[in-house]
Chain A
Amino acid sequence: MRWQRWLRRRQIDSDLQQEIELHLAEEIEENIARGMGQEEARRRAYVKFGSARRVREEVWRANSFVWIEQMWRDLRYVMRKLITAPSSALTVMISLGVGIAANALVFSGVDKIVLQGPPVGEPAKLVSIYSTDRHGQRGSLMRVEVFESLQGQLKSFSDAAAFTSYIQVALTGRGEPKRAWGQSVTRNYFDVAQVPMTFGRGFGPHDVYSPVIVLGYDLWRLYFNADDRVIGKTVFLSGKPFTVIGVAKPRFHGTLQLKIADFWIPLSQQASLESLPGKNGDLVNVIARLGPGEDRAKAQVELNAVAQRLAAAFPKEMQERGLRCEKAGTLPVEARTKIAAFIAAIMAIALLVLAIAVSNVTNLQLSRAMARHREMAIRIALGGTRWQLIRPMLLESLVLSLGGGAVGVGASVLAMHALTYFHMPVDLPIDLTLNVTPVVLWYAFSLSVVAGMLCGLGPAFAATRPSVPNALKGESSLEKPGRRGAMRDVLVIVQIAATMVLLCTTSLYLHSLLKLTNDDPGLRLDGVCAFSIDPIHNGYRAEQVSLVLKRVFDRVTAIPQVTSAAWTDAMPLSIGMKSTKFHHAEQPGNLELDPEADVYDVAPGYFATMGIQQIEGRNFNSAGPDAPKQMIVNEAFAHRMFKDQRAIGQYLTPTVQTDTVTQAPVGYEIIGIVKNSKSTMMDFDENPPIAYEALEQNMGTAAPMLGYSLMVHYHGNGAQIANVLQAEVHSVDPSLALFNQKEMAEQVTDSLIIPRAESAIFGVFGIAGLLLATVGLYGVMSYSVERRTKEMGIRLALGATIGQIQSLIVRYGITRALIALAIGLPLSVAASKVAASLQHGITAYDAISFTLTPLFLMSVALVACWIPARRASATDPQTTLRHE
């Protein structure tokens, strides 16, 4: 009812106007009938009626929702004020935006890692079951037979399914061959996980032994071009045909946290894809769904009993092992505490940044509110309640903080986008993207509101304290010098000191990053590109691999722009190679003490291609696997193993764990020594020991997980070469999947991912702190200048020059900054010591950082002081003295 009346307010009002007029007309007529004159009649009528306007107002008010209208009016007032003073509004919004962006970023990481689980149905009821050893440590995977026995015995679970670790294959049959990672699963996998299909179906009872495949949504979109008639089509996995029977729902990538599965095939099919015996084909992970009404505690009890029975049935695997269940998709228990600590630390830092922003804004708001104390006093004197004055101020804070929140969310979206440019240097199926989910938005929104309230309440209450007489006289109720001003000063000093620490640490990391990038890796970087292929996972048998490699090699070296090329089992600077310990061939090995080296299997042309100079001895001579094994070492390793003795001619044997060895230990003859170069990463381990084995002699013993990489030394245009290389590889075999194709320079950048990430994080927080501190200092200076306009006016009138006034103000600000820097310097030194202990290669007393940063901060402070100083000196003594 009230809504209807509100909507028809105007109509009702015009009706009422008419009604009143008619009423008055009647009254006038009556008066005339009583014998009054025209004028008198009118007058009496109007007097008798009273104020028509008030009647209309009262009726209008009865038809309105008063508080909504008040809010709306306040809002319009606030918006008008903000639009006329955009700079201060912008500073507030940017300050808060920075603080909120930091928190939104961190929280989306938390959300991804901790809160979000795999997008299965009823996630709370899906658990993963794993075995633990006596100490509760999570054990490795379960054998399929054990799983099947387990499956039959479970009562508190409605069903259990199993899946293997990742199998990698090369997908062919539709356009460019592509490498993909998938899992082989039991028939009921999708049912237990309650994952619906976008197209087609999951595995049915007839599919257990058929070569069928369910595609992941992203794989379907990217590789199959979102073809909606993909069901029934054939795709080749490493050369074996599989029929597509379904496409899973979007965003489902398996139940393991942070890892991506592109496709699923039945468990039985895995054996056909594994071409090397002895692989872990029959070890599985287990997931299970809790039955209706069951919870994890009851299920755990049952699992304990089942574990006992399994120990009796499978003594070798399950002896003294327990079974545990946990919500699927969570991180393993051991990692969780560490990750939780890390996350807590980062959230604390982010909240600290926000707190600094809030204190900044509170400062600003306080200053602005103080400037209006006279207006407040007058309004209170005229009968306004305190609440009426506080309401618009709170609303203003809310509007500003919501604006800041929007800025913050926008900035964090940009930052997340930038994060995707951080590649891992290795091509593994790990998912590190961050997204702005509704939870994150909600978090940012609540933070904004809380921040806004915090920023607004204090100043609002302080500014509306009704000491009317003083305010009207021109004094601010908070004029007491010393107390409130001191707090503001302390805040600014703390901000500047904190910023100094952040900036110093950032420049330390940046400095070390620079050193790393400019470090000589001992490898040729210009004009070298590389790519990888994986013949075994493309369907070739072990014996055919060397033939494939040779054919590709021949075609590539035939390209005119190619100077030289060489195969290796691991690209340098890609963290992907093996490392082994070695000992002298005659002596027994010692696992604890033997020196370790990174091991590369390379072709003879490797050293020439990569620009590694050979110092002594000879190169590999392409002997076969049956010839005596040869090895070339670098200087560092030679020194480590043999000290000053001659290395060439000596024999080394790998030190391995005795129970895993299948053959007799082999002795490698050292035939040459090369110069040092970087190995896994461009880090400060100046000269890692490296041992090179001959590729031809070691192929076929194991399939390297990352395939084989061809390093190509070329001259000419890099992009062109890339296409030509692809063409040549495909001319050998069109179904060979190429991956990891990049320039060496790019590889170097990628391998620096950790230092880059660290610098980025510190840089972001440092810049945030700098922005906030600058804004804070500027705000404090502005305010104090404004407070002292009268004093300035008097000084000017008494003959001070503008220069003197300016220097007065600048001195005031610079002393604050100097105090801050004095406090900040020892703190920065302490922080850099901590950083140096945590991270290789950062020197604690980096002279450049510790001189440049304070200078930089000082110059920023100067600018922040100078602008208000100029404003102060521009005051006209007459106006300020009159400014009562």
Chain B
Amino acid sequence: MKDGKAANNELLKGTLDMMILRTLAAGAAHGHTITKVIERSSEEVLEVEEGSLYPALHRLEGRGWVESYWGTSENNRKAKFYKLTVSGRKQLRIETTRWWRMARAIGLVMGEPQVRPAGDR
């Protein structure tokens, strides 16, 4: 199991930024929440290494795709919240399109059944 997780995480690295943006599209959240959401949404297949989360958030903020502000978490603790910006939404759309195109192409090559389009949970 451990090896599996490690291999999965390799694939995760390149797409972490995109998934963070996707998570934030639903609403502002702080780091811990984002981790939880990604893990749960992936049915626990993906384990987000916090070591990469915060640098990624920082990077996204540097590019102007997210904004941060200090607020209070659900447990009444101080937390830093991240919110998608307008250019962030645009970037999300771009990356999503690119991702689906890639996924479809790889799927065709591998001969796997076609990946269902987004929105079809």
Contacts and interface: CB of A to CB of B under 8 A. Distances in A.
Interface of A: 1-2, 5, 12, 15-16, 18-20, 22-23, 25-27, 29, 48-51, 54-55, 58-59, 62
B16 interface: no
A766 to B, nearest CB: 63
A62 B77 contact: no
Nearest to B55: A58
Nearest to B80: A19
Contacts of B77: 22, 25-26
B65 to A, nearest CB: 13
Given A23-B31, A55-B50, A5 B78 contact: no
Contact of A62 (B32, B51, B58): B58
A205 B21 CA distance: 82
A1 B31 CA distance: 23
Q: Size range of the interface on B?
A: 10 to 19
Contact of A54 (B32, B51, B75, B79): B51
A55 B79 CA distance: 18
Given A26-B32, A62-B62, A16 B54 contact: yes
B54 A19 contact: yes
Contacts of B97: none
14 contacts: A19-B54, A19-B80, A20-B54, A22-B30, A22-B78, A23-B31, A25-B77, A49-B51, A50-B50, A55-B51, A58-B55, A59-B54, A62-B55, A62-B59
A19 B51 contact: no
Contacts of B49: 50
B55 A55 contact: yes
Interface string B40-71: 00000000011100110011001000000000
A58 B62 CA distance: 14
A59 B55 contact: yes
Interface of B: 30-32, 49-51, 54-55, 58-59, 62, 73, 75, 77-80
Q: Return the 10 tightest CB-CB contacts between A and B, nearest first.
A: A50-B51, A26-B32, A49-B50, A58-B55, A23-B32, A19-B80, A59-B58, A55-B54, A23-B31, A55-B51
A22 B73 contact: yes
Consensus secondary structure, chain A interface: helix
Contacts of A58: 51, 55
A20 B80 CA distance: 10
Nearest to B70: A15
A2 B73 CA distance: 30
Contacts of A55: 50-51, 54-55
Contacts of B80: 15, 18-19, 22
B74 to A, nearest CB: 9
A23 B79 CA distance: 8
A27 B32 contact: yes
Contacts of A27: 32
B62 A5 contact: yes
Contacts of B75: 26, 29
A2 B62 CA distance: 8
B33 to A, nearest CB: 8
Contacts of A5: 62
A55 B55 CA distance: 7
A823 B49 CA distance: 75
B54 A48 contact: no
Nearest to B73: A26
A48 B78 CA distance: 21
Contacts of A54: 51
B50 to A, nearest CB: 4
